A and B are shown apart, each in its own frame.
Chain A
């Protein structure tokens, strides 16, 4: 079984995406043997009122039962965001909450970032931080977002010592620094932009943070799924005992999905 922790539904303003509707993504998952996917809404990133994107996401995911694990995106600079967050967690039973500070115009550690992370921490659900949706070198002239930086992540981890972090589409993470910031045991990192062989990013993170810190992620529908399937098969060859943990068990445990 595979659980993909790095997926999104909806339109992206700057590039056509295939497989970005729920039905299309289910077909993509079927073709690639992915049982379940953690999905957030791209519309929630770009709408002024992010919660309208969340509403769409829940409506779109609902007919597909447990195939999708929808994640709500909260904008702490928007009126009534606390109520939106409460609805997502308490009524919709969101397993995690995403924030996109670069797109919504604040910093992870400014007053808005601290407020939203503190509230997410109080709810006891993980926060989802996507380092970037696209490579910055191809940015559209209206695309002003920068990549999230590890230094800001480390500071946020220190500011919120009980908050758990789902880190998707990251590259350049230093396991020792993450551990020093108290993230060992409270972060889950997908390997969509990491390497198992050659650069050995994944084995290095396992050495410092433990295998429980790594999970399958593909960044579909932005990216091909095949690269992550290749990495998973290499995990199985190199570290067969870790295969199931990375394929799905870590994600299920981290998100409280049961087994």
Chain B
């Protein structure tokens, strides 16, 4: 499809992201059998007005170097366009260095600059996490200050260090001092090849270790459905009440959200997509939740975290 964004929004009727036309489709036409008359008020399918439900995507990314001259903005524009269509009010994005690579601080700054550029272009839609590597030492802490002073709201760590590693502690301490969330890449990988590719990826028990050392840290276990045994992860968090988790990831497995709520309580569950945008909206819409629980997960729980930031 080659629609540009303006045409897309016109056709989608999504220029007013939260004032969309009446939804048709699955809600409009849901016969129990072919040919059976439809019942628009049947309550079948997606909840009514799902696009208008406020949503904060607590885990997303800007990977394109859009801060450089003649940048290709298509990834960012597609991201914003999708958020508008899906009723996601704000995307909280980072640009981690992936693959387990440990890089110089200049490369880290360059990655963060792409997020800052996207924030500048779409200030109402994109907010940023500052990616840092504990291995950069004091320079990592300086980079946190630079990013936060430029408007970012938290830090994102990837898989260069286990979060139980003492190298991570100064970053956690700075997060506490500034009252900002620490979003951590996570997975309990049971596939030997996947684990070999990222041996220092933290799992629930690593998060618990950090949370026990720093109970006041706003710690978020990233993408419960990002690949790996999510049931193990949920059980691993049961005894660590201070740790939140986000719902993102490409795995859309039934019962994930309900298991999170049952084992951890819905207040610890944060809506996010990690680029699987339709899927992750759909998961929360499908989950057996009360309206209040769904609203908390879609945005209130994360808003409470944001409200705890100190200048």
Q: B44 contacts which chain A residues (CB < 8 A)?
A: 30-33
Contact at A140–B190, with CB atoms within 8 Å? yes
Contact at B275–A233, with CB atoms within 8 Å? no
Q: Which residues of chain A from 183 to 201 have a CB within 8 Å of any chain B CB?
A: 192-193, 195-200
Q: Is B166 an interface residue (CB 8 A)?
A: no
Contact at B275–A198, with CB atoms within 8 Å? yes
Q: Is B103 an interface residue (CB 8 A)?
A: no
With contacts A33-B30, A203-B1 known, is A230 near B281, CB below 8 A? yes
Q: Which residues of chain B from 276 to 294 have a CB within 8 Å of any chain A CB?
A: 276-287
Q: Is B31 an interface residue (CB 8 A)?
A: yes
With contacts A229-B26, A238-B1, A238-B12 known, is A223 near B254, CB below 8 A? yes
| Docked complex Cα distance between A222 and B252 (Å) | 8
Q: Is A118 an interface residue (CB 8 A)?
A: no
Contact at B191–A220, with CB atoms within 8 Å? no
Contact at B286–A198, with CB atoms within 8 Å? no
A side interface size, CB within 8 A: 58
With contacts A227-B252, A234-B278 known, is A197 near B85, CB below 8 A? yes
Stretch in B110-118, B177-185, B225-233, B236-244 with 4+ CB within 8 Å of A: B225-233
Q: Which residues of chain B from 64 to 78 have a CB within 8 Å of any chain A CB?
A: 78
B53 to chain A, nearest CB (A): 12
B20 to chain A, nearest CB (A): 8
With contacts A31-B44, A67-B33, A232-B25 known, is A224 near B287, CB below 8 A? yes
Q: Is B99 an interface residue (CB 8 A)?
A: no
| Docked complex Cα distance between A254 and B81 (Å) | 33
Q: Is B187 an interface residue (CB 8 A)?
A: yes
Q: A228 contacts which chain B residues (CB < 8 A)?
A: 282
Q: Is B251 an interface residue (CB 8 A)?
A: yes
Partner of A137, one of B8, B30, B31, B189: B189
Closest A residue to B36 by CB, please name it.
A35
With contacts A137-B190, A138-B228, A232-B26 known, is A195 near B1, CB below 8 A? no
Stretch in A15-23, A54-62, A89-97 with 4+ CB within 8 Å of B: A15-23
| Docked complex Cα distance between A67 and B31 (Å) | 11
Q: A1 contacts which chain B residues (CB < 8 A)?
A: 29, 31, 34
| Docked complex Cα distance between A131 and B58 (Å) | 30
Q: Is B98 an interface residue (CB 8 A)?
A: no
Q: Is B79 an interface residue (CB 8 A)?
A: yes
Q: Give a binary string over B210-235; 1 marks a CB under 8 Å from any A CB, 0 the rest.
A: 00000000000000000111110000
10 cross-chain pairs, A with B, having the tightest CB-CB distances, nearest first:
A33-B30, A226-B286, A203-B1, A227-B282, A226-B282, A137-B227, A198-B82, A224-B286, A197-B82, A227-B279
Enumerate 10 A-B pairs (CB-CB under 8 Å) in ascending A order: A33-B44, A135-B251, A137-B194, A196-B278, A219-B252, A222-B254, A224-B253, A225-B282, A233-B46, A239-B1
B residues adjacent to A (C-beta < 8 A): 1-3, 8, 11-14, 23-27, 29-34, 44-46, 50, 78-79, 81-82, 85-86, 187, 189-191, 194, 227-231, 250-255, 275-287
